[in-house]
Amino acid sequence: MALTLYFHPLASFCHKVLVALYENQTPFTGHIVNLADKDTSASFLELWPLGKIPVLRDEERDRTIPETTIIIEYLDRHYCGARPLLPHEQDERLEARLWDRFFDLYVQVPMAKVVTDRLRPGGEHDPRGVADAKSALGTAYDMIERRMADRTWMVGEGFSLADCAAAPALFYAAI
């Protein structure tokens, strides 16, 4: 198996795929991409011209797979480890995908707004955007708390795609 994950260690969407790889002990080679360095990023842009990370390269199957959810579903289909990351039951599969999207869109996106705003130089902050993002996060966190009140995993009886999305999305929850 010759899997290479192109990623950056500070990119939380990359963590989602790393969680899946490590959870199932899937062997892979990590390749850190620094898109700010034109010399080292040129080969990555040949692989995936949109320049978004993470990207999984599967030499054995001659496939390049972008997008976190698609990468995890690909791994589940072709390199399934001890635990399937998508439940077998169809309705639970849909539910896992729903919560995956929920964490990406309603936790990761507004969290990125808050975090990146803190990194901006003075005078370039977006107080209205940050307030909107924090409000959206409050709603999302309330939904998650209600969901998790009587369960261990986001969907079903075991770890899934939804939990891969939850872990990095909730990492910055204390901000």
10-65 pLDDT per residue, tens:
999 999 999 999 999 999 999 999 988 988 789 899 999 999 999 999 999 999 99
112-166 pLDDT per residue, tens:
999 899 988 888 999 999 999 999 999 999 999 999 999 999 999 999 999 999 9
In the chain, where does the domain assigned CATH 3.40.30.10 lie? 3-78
Predicted TM-score of the model (pTM): 0.92
Q: How far apart are CA 94 and CA 124, in angstroms?
A: 40
Q: How far apart are CA 96 and CA 100, in angstroms?
A: 6
Fold of 3-78: Glutaredoxin (3.40.30)
Q: Which residues contact 39 (CB under 8 A, 6 or more apart)?
A: none
In the chain, where does the domain assigned CATH 1.20.1050.10 lie? 90-170
Pick one of 1.20.1050.10, 3.90.340.10, 1.10.3720.10, 1.20.1250.20 as the CATH number of 90-170.
Answer: 1.20.1050.10
